[in-house]
Amino acid sequence: MTRTVAVIVGSARTGSFTRRVADALIARAPAGLACEVVPIADLPMYNQDHDAAPPAEWVAFRDRIRPMHGVLFATPEYNRSFPALLKNAIDIGSRPYGHSVWGGKAAAVVSVTPGALGGALCNHAVRQTLVFLDMPVMQQPEAYIGNVATLFGEDGEPVDATAEFFTKFMSAYGKWVERLTA
């Protein structure tokens, strides 16, 4: 059985390192794991006033996430947390109250930065939110992708050790999704 997971990228920047990492991870998904990038850049900002008559973009986003077996979050770190772009998508999926699309889905979090610290604080800020949303998050291997500008060759492919880690990470995530959707 093929499991399908949403890949949500916390940067909409042209040339985003995070998107590049997400694409490289998707390219290394194991057999039986289908990964689909679900765009979040055009989601109107969440406002509880609109719960009764939500914008079409919110409805489409929730409908897209609902049938997924898992969600892989790839995000940059902004000011030692994760970007509002990603928080907005998470908030939209969590509402209206009692109708969250996130609960129970097998999650993983990858933080990405050109800096040396690997976005560890943003990675754990996402995890904290996912705990509340009742999403089981893969614990190991952790993915704090630091110094990202040095990890891709001129051909756009990750260098050997990075490619190896991405394959290992996706293999573990495939098993995590399988275990939680058996």
Judged by beta carbon, residue 43 or residue 101, the one nearer ligand FNR is: 43
The one-character DSSP state at 117 is: S
Residue 76 found at the interface with ligand FNR (CB under 6 A) = yes
Structure token digits, residue 88: 């907005």
Structure token digits, residue 32: 């039986």
Closest CA to 88 of 118, 55, 120, 115: 55
The one-character DSSP state at 158 is: B
Judged by beta carbon, residue 117 or residue 172, the one nearer ligand FNR is: 117
- Min dist CB 144 to ligand FNR, Å, is 10
Residue 77 found at the interface with ligand FNR (CB under 6 A) = yes
CA dist 165 and 163 (Å) reads 5
Residue 94 found at the interface with ligand FNR (CB under 6 A) = no
Residue 123 found at the interface with ligand FNR (CB under 6 A) = no
Footprint of ligand FNR on this chain (CB under 6 A)?
Answer: 11, 13, 16-18, 76-80, 112-115, 117, 119
